[in-house]
């Protein structure tokens, strides 16, 4: 509940400090006295955007501070999620600086307006004439029915499962799109992979292959050169081998005459051995040398294929082709296995749909059970509020797709007169009727859930007499379970309050100021008497005021 409100340098308010109690609090005042200023200041502390034009003295900062007792609101988890220090006496403060910038604090911790609004939803509901239209909106109508149906746990479960369902659906859609793209490339990738597989790319040694090609392509020249080299080495009398033997014999003769000569002899002997080996190798090469046009053609074709693949894939070596081959295989495998993945995801989607359908059905059945009870209570209250012929028909129909709160379509249909057909509430109820409907709805809700403090801003507009008395009774009853404020012009309602505040203006040195004062018993009698008969108070008005208060 709101326990105190402090306002400084806001609109026509210099400085104002007021404490509030539980129960029904009445706020009265003449038109234009500044009740809207009070609401504006309270709205700022609840998260409304600030405006420098609202500051009275532009050279000083504006401060609005509210203290709430939240011991019974179960808000510890909310404070934790907002990373705020929890205190049963929670202080919210807004400041508007002369620069036009504004700041917000919860328990002295700076917060943004989103966090402030998130908390304020649980603290106080300012119900203006504009907000009466809320009762015609689908979201609010669902909130009312679900509160009575105690669907909170089911709705939380549904929301959690719906998030997972949407994530799976999105994944499935992405897989199907991927499949469509991959199928376009599949045949081409398969063709490229087949090309690389046909030449067994991993087992090719390009250097060896090129050497084999050069040998086969030049076999005749190689044979001639080998034969010529053999002749040069082994020809009689003039061959290198014979000449070397002659040198070797001469050096053997002088080898004993010194180390230098012996070393030359050894070197010649080594050269002789090497030349003998070379002759043997030349014989072997010449003997094994053969012409093979078919093998030459095969190797030539293979080299052409490899070079073509180099050009096609813009690479320079076999290793890069192997990488490309592996990538192609992976793409092909992914395409071929995608159907299985899609099938698994489709099964997952169906399983999630079953979960959601089960929870949605429970939500639907709970709603279905409470609607007749709600309609009965609503019509009974409206009858007391001067709408004896008001009838409601609430249609709850299951739909074949998921929405954020289940699988239902909900319509509030209304008629205010006998013999008239039902129509959508937003089209068939007048402003005054909507005000009474909203009051009736709030009073019913107060029986089922812990509502935050509520402030009714002239919800009694357009009613009088016995109806206003009934409205006061309803608000009085609500105040037994929650803190209720009402701004009113009706004495019948004002007399119902546990406490009574008056908003008024004073002129000091040609400057108008708005003030708020709690009335004592005598002041309250006078205020209600003025509400009954005007500024000139009569004895009968005073007697009537006392009677209402008693």
Asked whether residue 181 falls in the same domain as residue 327, the answer is yes
In a domain, residue 344? The reply is no
pLDDT tens string, the chain, 550 residues long: the values are: 999 999 999 988 889 999 999 999 999 988 766 778 888 888 888 888 888 888 888 889 999 999 999 998 889 999 999 999 999 999 999 999 988 899 999 999 999 999 998 999 889 988 876 667 788 889 999 999 999 999 999 999 999 999 999 999 999 998 888 887 777 777 788 888 888 888 877 778 888 888 888 878 888 888 888 888 888 887 776 778 888 888 888 888 888 888 998 899 899 899 888 988 988 888 888 777 777 788 788 888 888 888 888 888 888 888 888 888 888 888 877 777 788 888 889 999 999 999 999 999 999 999 999 999 999 999 999 998 889 999 999 999 999 999 999 999 999 999 998 888 999 998 888 877 888 898 999 999 988 888 889 998 888 777 777 888 899 999 999 999 899 999 998 999 999 999 999 998 888 878 888 889 999 999 999 999 999 888 888 889 899 999 998 8
In a domain, residue 37? The reply is yes
Provide the residue range defining the domain that includes 237: 176-337
Distance CA 129, CA 459 (A): 7
Asked whether residue 187 falls in the same domain as residue 286, the answer is yes
In a domain, residue 230? The reply is yes
In a domain, residue 134? The reply is no
Q: For residue 6, what pLDDT is reported? A: 94
Q: Are 60 and 9 in contact (CB under 8 A)?
A: yes
The residues with which 110 forms a beta bridge, in sequence order, are: 105
* CA nearest to 265, candidates 247, 241, 277, 239: 247
Asked whether residue 18 falls in the same domain as residue 114, the answer is yes
Asked whether residue 119 falls in the same domain as residue 181, the answer is no
Report the domain count for the chain. Answer: 2
Asked whether residue 206 falls in the same domain as residue 303, the answer is yes
Asked whether residue 88 falls in the same domain as residue 203, the answer is no
What is the model's pTM?
0.69
Asked whether residue 183 falls in the same domain as residue 112, the answer is no
Q: Are 499 and 20 in contact (CB under 8 A)?
A: yes
Q: For residue 405, what pLDDT is reported? A: 95
Q: Which of 308, 337, 366 is the last residue of a domain?
A: 337
Distance CA 260, CA 530 (A): 145
- Give the domain CATH number at 30: 3.40.50.300
Q: Are 436 and 457 in contact (CB under 8 A)?
A: no
φ/ψ region of 183 (left if φ > 0, alpha if ψ in -120 to 50, else beta) reads alpha
Distance CA 25, CA 493 (A): 10
């Amino acid at each position: 509940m709101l326990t105190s409100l402090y306002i400084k340098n806001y609109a026509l308010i210099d400085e104002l400090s007021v404490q509030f109690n539980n129960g029904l609090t009445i706020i009265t005042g003449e038109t234009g006295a500044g009740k809207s200023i009070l609401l504006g200041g309270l709205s700022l502390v609840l998260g409304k955007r600030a405006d420098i034009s609202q500051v009275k003295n532009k050279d000083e900062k504006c401060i609005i501070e509210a203290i709430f007792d939240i011991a019974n609101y179960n808000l510890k988890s909310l404070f934790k999620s907002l990373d705020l220090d929890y205190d049963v006496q929670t202080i919210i403060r807004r400041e508007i600086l002369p620069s036009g910038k504004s700041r917000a604090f919860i328990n002295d911790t700076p917060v943004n307006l989103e966090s402030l609004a998130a908390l304020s939803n649980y603290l106080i509901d300012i119900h203006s004439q504009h907000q009466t239209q809320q009762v015609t909106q689908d979201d609010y109508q669902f909130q009312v029915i679900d509160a009575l149906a105690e669907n909170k746990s089911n709705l939380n479960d549904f929301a959690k499962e719906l998030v997972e369902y949407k994530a799976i659906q999105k994944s499935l859609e992405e897989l199907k799109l991927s499949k469509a793209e991959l199928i376009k490339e599949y045949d081409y990738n398969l063709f490229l992979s087949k090309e690389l597989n046909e030449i067994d790319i991993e087992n090719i040694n390009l250097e060896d292959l090129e050497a084999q090609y050069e040998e086969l392509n030049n076999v005749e020249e190689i044979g001639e050169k080998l034969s010529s080299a053999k002749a040069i080495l082994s020809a009689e009398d003039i061959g290198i081998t014979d000449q070397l033997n002659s040198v070797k014999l001469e050096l053997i003769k002088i080898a004993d005459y010194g180390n230098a000569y012996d070393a030359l002899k050894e070197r010649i002997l080594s050269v002789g051995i090497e030349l003998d080996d070379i002759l043997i190798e030349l014989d072997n090469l010449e003997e094994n040398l053969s012409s093979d046009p078919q093998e030459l053609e095969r190797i030539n074709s293979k080299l052409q294929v490899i070079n073509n693949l180099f050009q096609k894939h813009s690479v320079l070596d076999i290793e890069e082709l192997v990488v490309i081959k592996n990538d192609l295989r992976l793409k092909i495998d992914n395409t071929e296995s995608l159907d299985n993945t899609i099938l698994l995801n489709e099964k997952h989607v169906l399983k999630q749909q079953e979960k959601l359908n089960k929870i949605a059905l429970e939500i639907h059945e709970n709603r279905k059970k409470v609607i007749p009870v709600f309609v009965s209570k609503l019509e009974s209250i409206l009858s007391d509020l001067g709408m004896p012929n008001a009838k409601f028909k609430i249609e709850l129909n299951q739909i074949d797709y998921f929405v954020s709160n289940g699988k239902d379509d909900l319509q509030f249909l209304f008629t205010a007169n006998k013999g008239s057909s039902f129509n959508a509430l937003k089209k068939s109820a007048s402003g005054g009727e909507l005000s009474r409907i909203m009051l009736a709805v709030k009073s019913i809700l107060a029986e089922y859930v812990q509502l935050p403090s509520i402030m009714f801003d002239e919800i009694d507009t357009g009613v009088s007499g016995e109806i206003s008395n009934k409205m006061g009774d309803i608000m009085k009853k609500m105040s037994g379970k929650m803190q209720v404020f009402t701004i009113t012009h009706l004495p019948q309602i004002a007399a119902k309050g546990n406490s009574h505040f008056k908003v008024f203006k004073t002129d000091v040195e040609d400057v108008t100021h708005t003030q708020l004062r709690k009335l004592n018993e005598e002041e309250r009698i006078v205020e209600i008497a003025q509400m009954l008969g005007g500024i000139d108070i009569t004895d009968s008005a005073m007697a009537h005021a006392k009677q209402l208060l008693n």
